[in-house]
Amino acid sequence: MTTLADNPDLAHHGDLELSPGLIDLAVNVLRPEPPPWLRQVLAESLATLAAYPDPTIAEAAVAARHERPTSEVLMTAGAAEAFVLLARAVRPAHAVIVHPQFTEPEVALRSAGHQVDRVLLDAADGFRLHPEQIPPSADLVIIGNPTNPTSVLHPAQTLRAIARPGRMLVVDEAFMDAVPGEPESLANARDVPGLLVIRSMTKMWGLAGLRIGYAVGEARVLGALSRAQPLWAVSSPALAAGAACFSPRAQNEAMATALQTDLQRAYLLERLATLPQVRTYGRARAPFVLIETAGADQVRLQLRERGIAVRRGDTFPGLGSDWLRIAVRPYATTDRLIAVLRSILG
């Protein structure tokens, strides 16, 4: 009999867990709304809506941040659009996705008619990636770093070991700006063959509804993605926000948010450790943690009944009904979660 674990619902995402009145521990956006200075940038951008969007300033800001020419930058409508463009632009003979991870890359590839193989990482090994796990024949490899939902940050050296001529290595760094100092990022690396790094700006800045992200990599690859992209795909307000988020002020604020998230995540893990029925694997570095507990599918429903939304884990390949993903939130919210979990688990 086919089960959800064999054929998970790849189209399910954390926003589907939400309902009015629920405490949101399901969605990985770090703040409930953009900061005031960014809202002002968005308001001022409305005066330019009669003109077609021009990505020049935003591309220049991204290029400066990652020490690249603008020919190696493409602004996108969130990171998710970049995966659709990738699926349209490439013709891999053997595409491999490292799971558990964000499911949209696989959805995009399969929707475009590509066959996809999965490499499943092992919880008992802390969801670590070993380069030898990647089939030698793979000419397209996609991996998240830090990975959603495992929260594992893979060493840059491990990812470099996967790259080789004739292979495209796509690294989803949607949550990298939540890691203080971004020590394992490859976004600045121009010496890795076939590298494409995709990043989101919606998580850090509370812009999920605006859709802004970007890709960096070889100019040849970015050109192919650009040709697959509809004209004016990224709106003027999104481009204005994208440029503003690379100002010195914004980057300092992002670092402070990342450091605060580190502390809040450590507190969440410390409190979860007081529940003997709950297990975690590996070292969490993203703004969420993945937990295993028996009957998590029912625990999730009971949490909903008591006003808390968390992300089900059984829609991620390699996981099952005993897994949940929990977003990092302020200490008081964590205390509320732990109290309710303790009551449910007994």
**Is residue 8 assigned to a domain?**
no
237 plus 280 within the same structural domain: no
- Does 216 lie in the same domain as 121? yes
- 173 and 261 inside one domain: no
One domain, residues 175 and 98: yes
Q: Are 281 and 300 in contact (CB under 8 A)?
A: no
Residue 9: inside a domain, yes or no?
Answer: no
Exposed / middle / buried, residue 121 (Cβ in 10 Å: 0-12, 13-18, 19+): buried
Counting the structural domains of the chain, the total is: 2
Domain C-terminal end among 248, 275, 300: 248
Residue 129 placed within a domain: yes
Q: Are residues 137 and 258 in the same domain?
A: no
Provide φ and ψ at 31, rounded to 5°.
Answer: -140, 150
The pLDDT score that the predictor gives to residue 6 is 62
Q: Is residue 4 part of a domain?
A: no
Whether 80 is in a domain gets the answer: yes
The answer to whether residue 176 is domain-embedded is: yes
Residue 260 host element (H or E): helix 248-272
**Domain with 174 in it:** 36-248
Quote the DSSP letter at residue 198: E
In order of 118, 140, 171, 226, the CA distances from 152 in angstroms are 18, 21, 13, 30
Residue 138 is assigned to a structural domain of this protein: yes
Nearest to 224 by CA among 110, 42, 85: 85
Whole-prediction pTM: 0.95
Question: Residues near 237 by Cβ (< 8 Å), separated by ≥ 6?
Answer: 42, 45, 46, 49, 210
- Please check whether residues 227 and 256 belong to one and the same domain: no
Q: 302 has which bridge partners?
A: none
* Final residue before a domain boundary, out of 248, 274, 296: 248
Task: Give the pLDDT confidence score for residue 156 in this predicted structure.
Answer: 98
Distance CA 208, CA 34 (A): 10
Residues 317 and 173 grouped into a single domain: no
Q: Quote the pLDDT of residue 240.
A: 98
Run of H or E residues at 255: helix 248-272
Q: What does the block give as tokens for 330?
A: 């302020």
One domain for residues 194 and 283 = no
Q: How many Å apart are CA 147 and CA 149, to the nearest integer?
A: 6
pLDDT at 1: 24
Domain boundary residue, one of 248, 272, 304: 248
User: Using N-to-C axis directions, what is the helix angle for 296-305 and 331-345, rounded to 10°?
Assistant: 120
Same domain, 232 and 326: no
Q: How far apart are CA 317 and CA 296, in angstroms?
A: 16
My answer on whether 190 and 325 are in the same domain is no
Q: Are residues 330 and 288 in the same domain?
A: yes
Give the H/E segment covering residue 118: strand 116-120
pLDDT at residue 19, as a whole number: 82
Q: Which residues in 183-281 belong to E strands, given as ranges?
A: 195-200, 213-217
Same-domain check for residues 27 and 156 = no
CA 33 to chain centre: 18
In a domain, 1, yes or no: no
Assign residue 202 the CATH number of its domain. 3.40.640.10
Going residue by residue through the chain (346 aa), what tens digit of pLDDT does each one get? 233 456 888 888 877 887 899 999 999 999 999 999 999 999 999 999 999 999 999 999 999 999 999 999 999 999 999 999 999 999 999 999 999 999 999 999 999 999 999 999 999 999 999 999 999 999 999 999 999 999 999 999 999 999 999 999 999 999 999 999 999 999 999 999 999 999 999 999 999 999 999 999 999 999 999 999 999 999 999 999 999 999 999 999 999 999 999 999 999 999 999 999 999 999 999 999 999 999 999 999 999 999 999 999 999 999 999 999 999 999 999 999 999 999 999 8
